Structure 1
Amino acid sequence: MQSLELHSANASRPDVAILGGGLSGRLVAWQLVRAGLRVALYERGGADGSAAAGWVAAAMLAPLAEAAVAEPSIVAMGAAGLEQWPFLLEGLPDPVFFQRNGTLVVWHQPDRSEAVMFDRRMRANAPPELLRGGVERLSGQQLGNVEPALAGRFQEGWLLPNEGQLDNRQLLKSLGAGLQKAGAELHWHTAIDEGNVPDAGLVIDCRGLGARPVMPSLRGVRGEVVRIHAPGIGLRRPVRLLHPRYPIYIAPKENDLYVIGATELESEDMSPMTVRSALELLSAAFSLHPAFGEARILELNVNCRPALPDHLPRVQWDGKRTLRVNGLYRHGYLLAPAVTGEACALAQALLGGATAGRTLDWDTWRAGRPWPDLFRQTEA
């Protein structure tokens, strides 16, 4: 069993330098600052987070709904993350919209076969404890009681009552403000490449696709979302509309704002949204409720999410002083609490061992974590 050593940092440098201030970088920084570490954060964009992939997202926290398209480990980490979000939001200086009002899954009757497949895959990938009390079959009348805005529009559906969502943009901004208030060393509009890595006790690379020079198997997966303002509809929770070609989600935020998106496109194209994509997303929303036809389009957004070949996240250690957190794919907000929490646990173990002059028994430490397959060790 191999034991590896991290040399302790001196007093003139931060304990941790974090490269990349998107969702993962900000959450890692927030957790480590709250743990009492000195943190420096380097981000190519600004404090509001608008340059991050996480700016273009619906931020749904729906492990059961994702079980229909994701592996069991994603579902397990997502379920843990859903429970962790309230604690991560605690202490932020600005309010962040967080709702745990469930997810509604509906379909038009010609697409009922999609519902059968969705249900089958969801039950195959979700742990029994998540399914217990986590799926309610609704008749058309019950659906109207649960979601009055959709009364009379669907013959049946499912309510996944334990799921949630948050406002991604409020979160990114509040994390930036919270880090500043907590005294983190913040370097906005500062891109870091492999030739100018800052000096720190530990470096945590959270650059997403920016880390491709050192993680060549990364690829970008295009995500497209529409943001609209639709007063008077009043959806109470995110809705997933099943369809064989473009299953979509509609996530209601505060002040009659809705985020509409589909799953993903296997492309790294960052050009503006096509007319076809916009028509499909907006037509699907209109089919959910005709009042969306009078909504005002605020934004048509595109970004690429970092993915590894197995579509699973990774926390990678080079055996010395660099960790890499990457590959959250289309599950960023769902997985971020669990993945960044595990990265922070590893960082603290390494720094604590170095301070005490101890080595880290990597194999034993990794085996004791809830998701040991999340971790990889590579040579520097």
Structure 2
Amino acid sequence: MIPDKMRFKPLSLPDAHVTILGAGLMGRLLAFTLASEGCRVDIHDAGGPDADGAAARVAAAMLAPLAESAVSEPAVVAMGVHGLRRWPQILSALSSPVFFQQNGTLVVWHWQDATEAARLRTTLEHTATVLKDLTPLAVLDAAALAQREPALAERFHEAYFLRGEGQLDNRQLLAALLTDMQRLGVHTHWHSPQSPADFSPATAGQPDCVLDCRGLGARADWPALRGVRGEVIRLHAPEVSLRRPVRLVHPRYPLYIAPKQDHRFVIGATEIESDDLSPASVRSTLELLSAAYTVHPGFAEARIIEIATQCRPALPDNNPGLRLLGERTLQINGLYRHGFMIAPAMLDATLALLREGSGALAGPFQPRIETAL
């Protein structure tokens, strides 16, 4: 239970003045949505408009709740299912196009990892029985795989197909949200690091509400946050054509390959318990590129566009959370490796709190809400 003195006091929308800290994925989604409803919105970020310091910029932006159920709790998977329904609605409201596809996910493996693949199948099938909104996986033989993904014909003898899963272009989305924030009159304050302590909501000359979406930038105010390092490689591979994201089962580095537009690919796998932001290691780079080559030899002639590292904000249980610092100050954080998949659910939960106070949260996923007391 949330103590009465720490319950979130609902806002009068759309007349409210909201200040948002952090212009990453959650900050931009909230700024765009609230400004669309007529709110006055200010947003502060320690970096610039390109979101160079945001975890959302270094991501594959896959929307894969069944695939992620192998490492996530049912509540997170349910948020991902909600996100698959909500992303088309969010994207359709933007004035700029954002690449989005919902062609499913393919899971493949080499013969020596068949045991690991069988174990994964058991996990995914169990999840699909627990969460009825998930579509069970389909097992493809070599012929069915070749028909579904011709580029992988004769490379694998079996695969799993996870229907309905999707992806989007994270950088296009961040840019499109920025464009519409400016169009809607959001007051953007770049290179302006702020904390909740810098504001006194609902007092004279102050915003009605403060929403803290700073990711790891909020660690001083939410000590439980930690950084989880991720490394991704962006390639241009004209000789490779994939219709959907592909995941490679491997006991040490389960690889993902997310095809974007114009034969560009985002490749990743590494997840390191560290907040180190130094460049990618030789080992990680070799493992990612070698694994990608085993999926499709056309990657041998690909050009490396970028090798990037970033730290995702995570809470101790790797689940996202909402946290009250006061009756008009709310923190949204801990999206971990699931940022794009669960962001719409966290957006809707936050909007429910803004409109109705602590008595209601959106959706069946019920994200955790706690206080700073």
Contact 2:216 2:227 in 1 (8 A): yes
One-letter amino acid matched to 1:365:
A
Q: What is the deviation of 1:195?
A: 4.7
In 2, the alpha carbon distance for the partners of 1:237 and 1:15 equals 41
Q: What is the deviation of 1:50?
A: 2.3
Q: What are the equivalent positions in structure 2 for 1:22-61 lying under 5 Å apart?
A: 22-61=24-63
Q: Report sequence identity in percent.
A: 50
In 2, the alpha carbon distance for the partners of 1:72 and 1:227 equals 31
Contact 1:31 1:344 in 2 (8 A): no
TM-score (norm 1): 0.91
TM-score (norm 2): 0.92
Q: Of the candidates 338, 341, 347, which is equivalent to residue 345 of structure 2? A: 338
Q: What is the deviation of 1:75?
A: 0.5
In 2, the alpha carbon distance for the partners of 1:38 and 1:150 equals 50
Contact 2:113 2:250 in 1 (8 A): yes
What secondary structure, in the 3-state scheme, does the structure 1 residue paired with 2:286 have? Answer: helix
The worse-fitting range, judged by mean Cα deviation, of 189-198 and 141-150 is 189-198
Residue in structure 1 matched with residue 220 of structure 2 by the alignment? 213
Q: What is the deviation of 1:3?
A: 4.4
The verdict on how the C-alpha distance between 1:195 and 1:377 changes in structure 2, with shifts beyond 3 A counting, is closer
Note the alpha carbon deviations across 1:203-253, whole angstroms, 9 max, x for none: 000000111111001000000000000002110100000011111000000
In 2, the alpha carbon distance for the partners of 1:15 and 1:22 equals 20
Residue in structure 2 matched with residue 357 of structure 1 by the alignment? none
One-letter amino acid matched to 1:348:
R
Contact 2:234 2:266 in 1 (8 A): yes
In 2, the alpha carbon distance for the partners of 1:188 and 1:176 equals 12
Residue in structure 2 matched with residue 365 of structure 1 by the alignment? 360
One-letter amino acid matched to 2:62:
M
In 2, the alpha carbon distance for the partners of 1:258 and 1:369 equals 33
Q: What is the deviation of 1:193?
A: 3.1
Residue in structure 2 matched with residue 129 of structure 1 by the alignment? 132
Residue in structure 1 matched with residue 203 of structure 2 by the alignment? none
Is 1:238 paired with 2:220? Answer: no
Is 1:311 paired with 2:346? Answer: no
What secondary structure, in the 3-state scheme, does the structure 2 residue paired with 1:264 have? Answer: strand
The verdict on how the C-alpha distance between 1:9 and 1:328 changes in structure 2, with shifts beyond 3 A counting, is closer
In 1, the alpha carbon distance for the partners of 2:45 and 2:254 equals 34
Note the alpha carbon deviations across 1:348-367, whole angstroms, 9 max, x for none: 224xxxxxxxxxxx3x435x
Contact 1:8 1:201 in 2 (8 A): no
Note the alpha carbon deviations across 1:12-64, whole angstroms, 9 max, x for none: x9611000000011111112122221111111222222221110000000000
Q: What is the deviation of 1:263?
A: 4.7
In 1, the alpha carbon distance for the partners of 2:69 and 2:256 equals 15
In 2, the alpha carbon distance for the partners of 1:261 and 1:9 equals 41
One-letter amino acid matched to 1:218:
L
What secondary structure, in the 3-state scheme, does the structure 2 residue paired with 1:180 have? Answer: helix
**Structure 2 gaps, min length 5:** 201-205
In 1, the alpha carbon distance for the partners of 2:131 and 2:210 equals 38
The verdict on how the C-alpha distance between 1:275 and 1:89 changes in structure 2, with shifts beyond 3 A counting, is same
Q: What are the equivalent positions in structure 2 for 1:111-126 lying under 5 Å apart?
A: 111-126=113-128
**Structure 1 gaps, min length 5:** 351-361
Contact 2:65 2:77 in 1 (8 A): yes
Q: What is the deviation of 1:347?
A: 1.5
In 2, the alpha carbon distance for the partners of 1:105 and 1:8 equals 44
